């Protein structure tokens, strides 16, 4: 299962790099870090942590990992999630 997530993350990160949106050299390593960060964030939320804060912090950290400027990373992290994501949790 983890391999499936890493393959998808590698593709998405690679696409971002190819489009010059991300400035990252080690795509497979970034994918591994991404999966680890998401598992950590989910664990913190399941342990009762503030989900909105944990989500925003994780997204901001990952965007910066991919080479997004700090202000832009923060802006992206604070954007509301699309309906198709939030509908999944209703």
Domains and CATH numbers, the chain: 2-89 (1.10.357.10)
User: How many other C-beta atoms are found inside a 10 Å radius of the C-beta of residue 16?
Assistant: 19
Q: What pLDDT sits at residue 65?
A: 97
Q: What pLDDT sits at residue 86?
A: 72
pTM of the full predicted structure?
A: 0.85
Q: What pLDDT sits at residue 1?
A: 52
Ramachandran angles phi, psi of 32, nearest 5°? -60, -45
The residue among 60, 42, 59 whose CA lies nearest residue 51 is 42
pLDDT in tens, the chain (90 residues): 567 888 999 999 999 999 999 999 999 999 999 999 999 999 999 999 998 899 999 999 999 999 999 999 999 999 988 888 777 666
């Amino acid at each position: 299962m983890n391999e499936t997530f890493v393959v998808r993350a590698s593709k998405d990160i690679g696409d971002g790099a190819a489009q010059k949106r991300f400035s990252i050299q080690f795509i497979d390593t970034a994918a591994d870090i991404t999966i680890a960060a998401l598992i950590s964030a989910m664990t913190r939320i399941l342990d009762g942590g503030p989900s909105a804060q944990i989500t925003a912090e994780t997204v901001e950290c990952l965007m910066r990992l991919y080479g997004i400027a700090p202000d832009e990373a923060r802006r992206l992290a604070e954007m509301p999630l699309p309906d198709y994501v939030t509908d999944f949790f209703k």
